Amino acid sequence: MSNVGLKEAPSGRLDKNSIGVTHIVFFVVAAAAPMSALVGATPPAFAFGNIGVPAAFVTLGIVYLLFAIGFTAMTPFVKSAGGFYSYVTKGLGGPWGMAAAMLAFLAYFTIQIGIYAIFGVFVNATVGPLGYSLPWWVWSLALLVVVFLCGRQHVVFSGRLLGLCMIGEITLLTLFAIGVLIRGGGPDGLTSAGLRPTDFLAPGIGVVIVFVVGAFIGFEATAIFGEEAKDPARTIPRATYLAVGIITVFYAFCSWAIVQYYGAEKIMSIAGANLDTFYMTALQDILGNWAGYAMNILLLTSYFAALLSFHNTLNRYFFAFGRDGLVWKGLAKVHEKHKSPYVAGAVQVIIVTSVIAIFALIKADPYTTVFSGMVTVCGLSILLVQVLVAVAIFGLFSNGRQGKSIFRVRVAPLLSGIALAGAFLLVSVNVDLMTGSTNPLVYGLPALVILLAAGAVAMGLRIRTRNPALYKTLSAAFDDAEQAAQ
């Protein structure tokens, strides 16, 4: 471990006051990958869970809104680009901040590996009939190069590009949902089926939570760009509430529309028998054959948008780690022209390439092994780190509310923390459904995630004892970026 102290911390700094609410919202919603999340996650949620998927989106939306109320109360006190890492460090101290860093990094890294794998599978299936069939990892690595080049640009470039992708996905799915309304629904007409609490609070609720929680991955992006945001004390809360609202309403509306299209009595059986064509059939029937072609294209852009968002997020994690002296300080270098953490991006490309190469060499199935396994680890990691953030809110305001309401710094984080912990338990007992495997090792994934977090805490305690200078850097992670970089 480096002996770098606060004064020796690397001097890289990101471009302040460069992005506003709109760009940050694009990053969050793009990370949620509207097209791929609905088309990929909701069919198995209906098939193996229950018809309450729309109600699940609403419920989780409320939970994350409560989380955001407390989360954004910390924004004026946290200006580093470390995201959850910085927030937990501020509220609970360096060792717990290291646990949050480990969990968040694990979540975003594993989800992008999974998406690279499923992208390769989907492209191969699309162009294979045309005679361009290649191993899945070839397409994955080709996309990795594109993502790296885009992420190397100024953050505004990525924000605009993600916005275009997101608009296309949302437009097509919204047109479908409106078309269902105009048609008057399906065999049952228009009903409240799917939105009723009893639909969600029924057998299969754990399965539904497992698949629905992934739609909110990327939530942290509102905070991780705080150092580059214009007036972050106001921009971050607005972007957070807006992002949660858009994700919740959009997913709930579109999943409710698909329930209306197929009918409450038939949707579970139809989803189980037609996981791959569940949405394709409905979109082509409502909007015409052109919608099927558009969906194929937008699925590709959806995966790309999600990967670009996660790439940018991880770059800023590497940047924060380097600047705080936790790893090689060269990671804190920023591009002279674009003010982007380009060295962090290059290192990330090397790591991702290595992991994909390992999966390719052992001939792992890109869908059932790589994608499913990585998504499971991601879900467990992000839920656990969000529980830590909820606890950190209490830690930050333990000596006084500093002008914040008791609801904002006590009630909201308590309720959301309990709900997120419950979601973690539900995912833990349903890991076999996420991975499609009953291998005993699969059931150990929740314990592995917890052990990694505990190991990070132990490392932080060791640093505090043996390297006070570096621990001081950890404690400064939440300070203003310029101060932390001195």
C-alpha to C-alpha distances, 438 to 7, 164, 321, 378, 405, nearest whole angstrom: 51, 40, 37, 19, 47
What is the rounded average pLDDT of the residues 387-397? Answer: 92
In a domain, 486, yes or no: no
C-alpha to C-alpha distances, 42 to 169, 212, 382, 478, nearest whole angstrom: 16, 7, 19, 37
**Residue 172 — very low, low, confident or very high, per pLDDT cuts 50/70/90?**
very high
The pLDDT tens digits of the residues spanning 112-129 come to: 999 899 888 888 877 877
The pLDDT tens digits of the residues spanning 440-460 come to: 778 899 999 999 999 999 998
**Residue 373 — very low, low, confident or very high, per pLDDT cuts 50/70/90?**
confident
Between CA 309 and CA 379 the distance in angstroms is 17
Chain centroid offset of residue 168 CA? 20
The pLDDT tens digits of the residues spanning 305-325 come to: 778 878 887 887 788 778 777
Between CA 32 and CA 34 the distance in angstroms is 6
In a domain, 15, yes or no: yes
3-state secondary structure of 282: helix
**Residue 7 — very low, low, confident or very high, per pLDDT cuts 50/70/90?**
very low
In a domain, 209, yes or no: yes
Looking up residue 156, the CATH number of its domain turns out to be 1.20.1740.10
**Residue 287 — very low, low, confident or very high, per pLDDT cuts 50/70/90?**
very high
Buried b (16+ CB within 10 A) or exposed e, 82-105: bbbbbbbbbbbbbbbbbbbbbbbb
What is the widest separation between alpha-carbon atoms in the chain? 69
Q: Is the pLDDT of residue 481 over 70?
A: no
What is the model's pLDDT at position 301? 81
What is the model's pLDDT at position 367? 78
List the Cα angle 183/187/188 in 5-degree steps.
95
In a domain, 1, yes or no: no
Beta bridge partners of 19: 229
Closest CA to 193 of 98, 319, 52: 52
What is the identity of the amino acid at 357?
Answer: A
Q: What is the DSSP letter of 367?
A: I
Between CA 101 and CA 320 the distance in angstroms is 10
Between CA 260 and CA 191 the distance in angstroms is 7
In a domain, 296, yes or no: yes
Helices then strands, counting H and E runs in the chain, come out as 23, 0
In a domain, 323, yes or no: yes
Residue 26 belongs to domain spanning: 6-480
CB atoms within 10 A of CB 439: 9
Q: Is the pLDDT of residue 376 over 50?
A: yes
Between CA 165 and CA 36 the distance in angstroms is 12
Sign of the dihedral defined by the CA atoms of residues 149, 152, 155, 156, in that order: negative
In a domain, 203, yes or no: yes
User: How far apart are the two ends of the chain, measured CA to CA in Å?
Assistant: 20
Half-sphere exposure of 15 (CA within 13 A, CB side): 17
Backbone angles phi and psi of 472, in degrees to 5: -65, -35
Q: 165 and 302 in contact (C-beta within 8 Å)? A: yes
Between CA 258 and CA 132 the distance in angstroms is 33
In a domain, 340, yes or no: yes
Between CA 482 and CA 486 the distance in angstroms is 6
Could you give the number of structural domains in the chain? 1
Q: What is the DSSP letter of 331?
A: G
